Amino acid sequence: MNSNATELANYFVSLAERDGIELYQFGLMKRVYITHGLHLALYNRSAIDSRFDIVEAWKNGPVIPSVYHSFKYNGINSIKEKSIIVEVENSKFKISTPELSDETIKKVSEVVWEKYKGMTDFQLIELTHKDGTPWSLCYEEGKNNPIPDLYTKAYYKKLISYERDR
């Protein structure tokens, strides 16, 4: 079973806290997406659960709505805490924090974190807006079109090949 995108986002919040780096909404979203793309390319399986999470082409790049809605309350402020889930069980509220347990996804996340932790949110947006990216193929002004995993996987496979050949 795939992890959900909120678990993955919470893992990046932990990495930022560990390294004393401020993390903002756009940067979080792009790192989750890049991890998803690399995981698809390397392991032929998604890092997010398609039952809950889809990737869409929004104005500012690839967005996973579940992550956006989980962290949007931070606005332009840095993210200081993980997202929680509130469920009702037997008329009682149960609060939990989604935690990433998949070790392979954690490893890919850590590679993404190390490679991109020095980039600003706007540099990451620029990176995901380049010609030929899955976002550039799917984005239409005023629409939140889905970005198919097939596009994301092909793009990141090509990127991995390019990096290996350098």
pLDDT digits (tens, 9 = 90+) for 102-159: 999 999 999 999 999 999 999 999 999 999 999 999 999 999 999 999 999 999 999 9
Count CB-CB contacts under 10 A for residue 19. 11
- Helices 25-43 and 149-165 cross at an angle (nearest 10°) of 80
* Gap between the Cα atoms of 23 and 96, Å rounded: 22
pTM comes to: 0.93
The 10s digit of each residue's pLDDT in 44-77 is 999 999 888 999 999 999 999 999 999 999 999 9
User: Residue 52: its pLDDT value, please?
Assistant: 86
Q: What is residue 77's DSSP assignment? A: S
User: DSSP of 14-50, one letter per residue?
Assistant: HHHHHHT----HHHHHHHHHHHHHHHHHHHSS-SS-T
Instruction: Calculate ∠ Cα 58-156-11, nearest 5°.
Output: 70
- pLDDT: which is higher, 89 or 157: 157
Confidence of residue 2 (pLDDT cuts 50, 70, 90): low
